[in-house]
Structure 1
C-alpha cells in the first residue's frame, strides 16, 4: 500500500513543482508595493507573459481578453528580447501574485483556473475571470481569496 501511494504522491507534486518554478523568478518583483512599482516601470521581459500563459492554463483567447494584447505580438517581443510597457508589466505581476495565492488555496493552477470560471458568491455571483481584466477586478479576486483562505464564505 505504501509503495502505490508514493508514486501517486510524486505524480501529484510534479505539476506543483513546475508551477512554483514558473512563479519563483517573479516573486521578488511583486513582494512589496515598491518592488511592484519599480519592476513595472522598468518593464518585464515579454517572456514573463509567455510564462504566465503557461502557468495560468489560459487559452490564447482568454489571455488576449484579460491582458488586451495579442499572443503573437508577445511572441514577437520575446524573440526580439523586448520589454513590455509598465501597465502590462504591472497587470502580469499582479496576476502572478494572484495565481500564487490561488495555487496555495486550491492546490494547483488548474483548480484555481476552474474556480476563476465559476460564479463566486463573494463577488456578487460574477465569474472571477470576467473581472480579471482590470486592476480593481484583480484586487476584488485577491480579497475573495483571502476570505476563502480564512473560511469566510458567507
Structure 2
C-alpha cells in the first residue's frame, strides 16, 4: 500500500491538534474562566490530551508538571479530577501551545522552538521555564514579541 501524500498527513495532523485543543479553549479564554475551571479541577484526560498535543515525552511531562504519567493514567481510568494547581498549569500550557501554534504555524515547529535558547528570555531554553506559571507567562510574552516582530 502506498504512503498517503504529505498534504493529507499534514491536514490530518492539523485536524488532530485542533480537536485536542478545542475543548479547552473556552476554559482559558479569560482569567475568570481559567480561575473557575482550575478550581473545579480538570478531568485527568486533559493531561493526556496535553501530552498528545505538545509532543512532550513522558519524562518531559513529568519534569514539567511534577506528576507521574502513570498516576495521570490511573486518574483518567477512574474519571478522577486533577487538583487546582495542576489544572491551572495545564490550562496555561494549553493556552501557551495555542499561541505558539498560531505564531509558528504548527505544534511541531513550536515544540522545536521551545527547545532552543531564546534571546528574549536571556538565552534560556523556553521549555526549561515551563515548570512554573511565571515561566509560562514569560514564554507567552516572548511569543507576543515574536508575533509582532519585536525581537530587540
Asked if these proteins are the same fold (TM beyond 0.5), I'd say: yes
Distance apart, 1:107 and its partner CA: 1.1
Distance apart, 1:42 and its partner CA: 0.1
2:54 aligned residue (50, 53, 56): 56
Question: Residues 39-94 of structure 1, C-alpha deviation per residue, up to 9 Å, x if partnerless?
Answer: 00000000000000000000000000000000000000000000000000000000
Report the equivalent of 1:46: 44
Q: Once superposed, which parts of structure 1, at least 4 consecutive aligned residues long, lie more than 6 Å away?
A: none
Distance apart, 1:139 and its partner CA: 0.2
Q: Is 1:87 the counterpart of 2:105 in the alignment?
A: no
Q: Is 1:69 the counterpart of 2:48 in the alignment?
A: no
Aligned residues: 148
Distance apart, 1:17 and its partner CA: 1.0
Instruction: Return 5+ residue gaps in structure 1 as ranges.
Output: 1-6
CA RMSD of aligned residues (A): 0.9
Report the equivalent of 2:124: 126
For normalisation by structure 2, the TM-score amounts to 0.95
Q: Counterparts of 1:84 and 1:110 in 2: how far apart (Å)?
A: 27
For normalisation by structure 1, the TM-score amounts to 0.94
Q: Counterparts of 1:8 and 1:45 in 2: how far apart (Å)?
A: 34
Q: Counterparts of 2:121 and 2:41 in 1: how far apart (Å)?
A: 31
Q: Counterparts of 2:58 and 2:14 in 1: how far apart (Å)?
A: 22
Q: Counterparts of 1:31 and 1:152 in 2: how far apart (Å)?
A: 24
Report the equivalent of 1:3: none
Q: How do 1:103-142 residues align onto structure 2 when only pairs under 5 Å count?
A: 103-142=101-140
